[in-house]
Structure formats: structure tokens, C-alpha cells
Amino acid sequence: MKRYISRTLESILKKAVKEFPAVVLTGPRQAGKTTILKHFFSGSHRYISLEPPDVRSSALADPRGFLELYEPPLILDEIQYVPELLFYIKEKIDQNRDRYGQYVLTGSQNLLLLQQVTESLAGRAAMLRLLPLSYPEINGKPEQSFPWEREKRISSTLSIRDFWPLMLRGSYPELHEHPEKDSALWQGSYLQTYLERDIRSLRQIGDLTQFQLFLRSVAIRSGQLFRISEVAKEIGLSVNTIKAWLGVLEASYQVVILRPYFVNRGKRLVKTPKVYFLDVGILCYLLGLQEVESLYRGAMAGPIVETFLFSEIYKRLSSRGGHPELYFWRTSTGQEVDLLIEERGKLIPIEVKASSTPKPQMAKGILTFQKDFPKEVEKGYVIHLGEQVLPLAPNVEALPFAQL
């Protein structure tokens, strides 16, 4: 029997259904959207998938008749196949605006769906995202808070021997619900399905081979500065094509673009963004890494660990219902902080190290940033793969990843 994995988003989702006429749940394919909705609302909502061609044709041919046939409360899965239905859902909602939880909609394409919902359901729908599993969810502790949000340290540990296999497996629910499955086989099939279905529905891409080359070029740069002109030259495509294809990856929740922190305090800052894959297992597959030894001894070990740490924080903040305010900081002279979390007007600087031995020099970037932004900065953290909690400098602490 399939094991249900509790998700951090559950409390926000249940609250939204009680406070909005409609809830739109977006996220990548296989992140668990249908699973969580059926788990909580199968007793109160009818479920209809818009993916089958006959159901899709029926909804397109007579949208009002379709919605009369399937009265709310209703779950409509994969709404991006029939976005025209949103205007008629608005019509139905407006007949009884104070009735909450009428429609729960899912979609796998972020930017296009967001635009369509804004145009048709503005003020009527809560927008939520369900991303692949975070480590606390995998570990059975979906409500676990961050170290800077709690007074006491937790006892959680993750040995280095267990850490690297976790990178290869990634964080999609099916691979953790079924630990016997071959992760590389699943990831290859996922990417093929993604290329054939989502990519071609978002944008007309004739040569999938070139897009696969593009995917691997992005993977090589995960956790690093992403210079569009450099990638365009490497693959032999125009800058505008690379921009559009990067937008496709972002819209389908494969990558996140991280912008630099721009407040200038007399330093020349790097303005090029960084790119991160949301699932480190897919990243490892694209890089051709399938063995633990080749992973942790390879040149990409550091960027992979940074990608994993970034995706962890991004997923957990997204699960709270808002949009994560995350940045990085880098000067033209090479001083940098891997990640800045902005919360309540304060900044939390974080450095990520693929090492089990924290050292004071690892705090150098954080100390420079604290000096430049003394009023905005909270305590800084160096996240590492060891098991020791150590003070590295005033207001800078080394933390094992598992403490996160």
C-alpha cells in the first residue's frame, strides 16, 4: 500500500479551503498535488482530472454544461489543459461568493497558470505551491522550524554516509514512498515525460536534442552564476532562445533563478543571477552522476551541496504559503555570501560548505557582509556536512545540515 508522506503545506492548504472560494495548487509533475488533495478532500470534494482527452474535449465544447454536471465542491486536476474553464468557474463562484472551498484546482505550469488565474479569479482564489519533498518531510517532521526560529537545538543528525545517497535519490515523493525503485531509471523517465509533455505545451520546441543540451548546460551551472550569452554561444543558439528556454524551466518548476542583493554600500556588485535546480536528484542525473563515490569526489560536489541547501530552504519557505525572499551577495572582487534570507526586514546570511570540518575562514564572506549591513543582518550561519555546532566568529555559527 502506498505510504502517505505528511507535508508542511497541509495546514495552509486546509486553512485556504476554509477562507477562499477557490484554491489553486501548483507545482511540478509528481510533487504530490493529487495525493495531498485526495488524502484530505476525497470525502468532501468530487475529483475530476482534465488530462484525459475525452474529459478535456467535453469541458472545452460546453464549459457551462460541464460545470453544471460536476457541481462543487470539486477538485479539478491539471487545469492548465483547459484554462478557458477558469472564466466559467469565476461565473459559478460569483453566484455564491461567500461559499468557501468550492473549487480546488491543480496545475503544473507556474507562470502561464498564474497569469490566467490573475485574469479570471483575482480575489477569489488562494495560490499555493507544492514542491518536491523537503528533508524534514522525508524525515517525518514536516513542521520542523529553522534554527534561527527556535531557542533550543534539536538532536537530529545525518551521517555523511547517508547524505550523499540522498543527493542521488532526490526528493520526489514516489522515490521515497517506494525505496525499492531505481532512482536513475525513474529520473530518466521523468525527464523524458517532462520533455515530451510540458516543454512542448509551454513552447514550440522543434529540436528536443538541442533542448537536452541546454538542460545539461544549465545543470553544469547549478549553484553558480548564469551568463545567458555564455550558454547561447556554447550551444549555438540565440540569446533570446536561451532566455525563453530558461523561462520554460522556471515555469515548470525545474529551476529557480536567484537574484543578487542590490543595495549598494560603496561596493561594485555582481548583477548576474544564479540558477538552482529544485531537485538535486534530477540535477545529478543530468550530470551523469549515478555513484556516490563519483559524486562526492567530483568537481560538482560543492555546487550540488549548495543546490540542495538552497532547494531545502526554498521548498520549506514556499510551503508556508508565501513567496520566499531569497538572494545572494557577491562583489566584483570576489567577496560573497551564498544565500540571504530576508524575513521581517532582517537578513540572515548563509554560507554552504561541502565539508565536515568547519573552520573560521569559512565565515569570511558573512563577516564582510555583516560589516557592510550592521543594522539589517541577523546571526549568520555556515552550514556544513559534519556533526559539530561551533562558533566561528562573533554572530557566526557553524551548523550541521541536519540541524536545519
Q: Measuring CA to CA, which residue among 349, 356, 354 is closest to residue 397?
A: 349
**Within 13 Å and on the Cβ side, how many CA atoms surround 202?**
23
Q: Measuring CA to CA, which residue among 290, 273, 291, 274 is closest to residue 282?
A: 290
State the Cα–Cα distance between residues 404 and 399, nearest whole angstrom: 8
Of the candidates 105, 129, 153, which is a domain's last residue? 129
Does residue 161 lie in a domain region?
yes
Task: Indicate if 148 and 101 belong to the same structural domain.
Answer: no
pLDDT of residue 271: 87
pLDDT of residue 202: 64
State the Cα–Cα distance between residues 192 and 148, nearest whole angstrom: 40
Task: Indicate if 214 and 362 belong to the same structural domain.
Answer: yes
Task: Indicate if 219 and 305 belong to the same structural domain.
Answer: yes
Of the candidates 63, 94, 129, which is a domain's last residue? 129
Cell, residue 167: 543527493
Task: Indicate if 98 and 205 belong to the same structural domain.
Answer: no
Provide the domain limits for residue 75. Answer: 10-129
Does residue 5 lie in a domain region?
no
Peptide bond into 132 cis (omega under 30): no
Task: Indicate if 323 and 234 belong to the same structural domain.
Answer: yes
> Cβ(226)–Cβ(218) under 8 Å?
yes
Does residue 59 lie in a domain region?
yes
pLDDT of residue 329: 93
State the Cα–Cα distance between residues 352 and 258, nearest whole angstrom: 15
* Average pLDDT score, the chain: 90
pLDDT of residue 118: 73
pLDDT of residue 81: 87
Task: Indicate if 244 and 348 belong to the same structural domain.
Answer: yes
Q: Are strands 336-343 and 224-225 parallel, antiparallel or unpaired?
A: unpaired
pLDDT of residue 328: 95
State the Cα–Cα distance between residues 84 and 104, nearest whole angstrom: 16
Query: What's the CATH number where 118 sits?
Result: 3.40.50.300
Does residue 115 lie in a domain region?
yes
Task: Indicate if 346 and 320 belong to the same structural domain.
Answer: yes
Does residue 164 lie in a domain region?
yes
State the Cα–Cα distance between residues 155 and 241, nearest whole angstrom: 48
Q: Measuring CA to CA, which residue among 98, 100, 91 is closest to residue 121?
A: 91
Does residue 66 lie in a domain region?
yes
Task: Indicate if 244 and 327 belong to the same structural domain.
Answer: yes
Single-letter amino acid, residue 383: I
Does residue 2 lie in a domain region?
no
Three-state DSSP at 162 gives helix
Task: Note the pLDDT tens digit of each residue in 216-272.
Answer: 999 999 999 999 999 999 999 999 999 988 988 988 899 999 999 987 655 677 889
Task: Indicate if 303 and 392 belong to the same structural domain.
Answer: yes
Does residue 3 lie in a domain region?
no
Of the candidates 129, 160, 191, which is a domain's last residue? 129
- Name the strands in the sheet holding 380-384, side by side, starting at the edge strand that comes first in the sequence: 326-330, 336-343, 346-352, 380-384, 396-400, 390-393
Task: Indicate if 158 and 83 belong to the same structural domain.
Answer: no
State the Cα–Cα distance between residues 335 and 318, nearest whole angstrom: 28
State the Cα–Cα distance between residues 306 and 179, nearest whole angstrom: 25
State the Cα–Cα distance between residues 176 and 3, nearest whole angstrom: 9
Number of domains, the chain: 2
Q: What angle, rounded to 10 degrees, do the helices at 33-41 and 10-19 form?
A: 60
Residues in the chain, pLDDT under 70:
1-2, 109-114, 155-156, 200-204, 206, 264-267
- Name the strands in the sheet holding 74-77, side by side, starting at the edge strand that comes first in the sequence: 46-49, 74-77, 103-107, 22-26, 125-129
Task: Indicate if 157 and 119 belong to the same structural domain.
Answer: no
Task: Indicate if 216 and 230 belong to the same structural domain.
Answer: yes
Q: Given CA atoms 182, 187, 190, 195 in this order, what sign does their dihedral have?
A: negative
Q: Give CA separation, 93 vs 73, 84, 90, 125, in Å.
A: 11, 15, 5, 10
Three-state DSSP at 349 gives strand
